Amino acid sequence: MTSTLTSSTPSHPKAKSKTVAAWLALTGGVFGWHRLYLYGWQDVWAWAHAIPTALGLWGVDRVLTYGQDDKLSWLLLPLLGFSIAVACLTAIVYALRTPEQWNAWHNPTLAHDAPAGHTNWLTIGAIVFALMFGAIGLMSGLAFGFQRYFEYQIEEGLKISQ
């Protein structure tokens, strides 16, 4: 009887908190922190998150070094925006799961209504910030990429017409 009581406490070492996972997805999701928390260091997808993020950060560096006319940065920079948007979407999906869904997926040894899957104000805060930062990241990446693409098309059209 005591083993079932202790296994449903939030301090259980195997309990994966929905709130912690949502905040990790929001703050470090572009580097896969949430996946490392949920699935461990052997998770391939956790490490794969860093690739588009690193390419996007390289695009930011190229813009700062070579200016906005660098064509490679037009392709690389939107990857950072998409990485941010995906991480924020992941935080939203995690935070909106019901306790039953969360515990069935990430805490199968705990009761379906274990506290690790409960929603609190910190979880709601993660949703709010994820909506804000995800929209900013996605729209910024799209705006930069499309703006530079159309400016390039206008420049090439002017070269042809002369």
The pLDDT, as a whole number, for residue 124 is: 94
∠ Cα 123 110 127 (to 5°): 10
Torsion sign, CA atoms 18, 24, 27, 29:
negative
Q: Can you tell me the distance from the alpha carbon of 27 to that of 44, in angstroms, rounded to the nearest whole number? A: 20
Domain boundaries, the chain: 17-161
CB 39 within 8 A of CB 54: no
Give the tens place of pLDDT for each residue, 84-99.
999 999 999 999 999 9
Q: What is the pLDDT of residues 11-21, one digit of tens each?
A: 456 789 999 99
Mapping DSSP to helix (H, G, I), strand (E, B) and coil, where does residue 65 land?
helix
Per cent of the chain over pLDDT 90 is 56
**Mean pLDDT score, 31-58:** 94
- pLDDT tens for 97-141 read 999 999 999 998 888 888 888 899 999 999 999 999 999 988 888
The pLDDT score that the predictor gives to residue 12 is: 55
With 90 as the cut, is the pLDDT of residue 35 above it? yes
What number is the average pLDDT over the span 49-71? 91
* Model pLDDT, residue 32: 95
Cβ-contact 145, 77 below 8 angstroms: yes
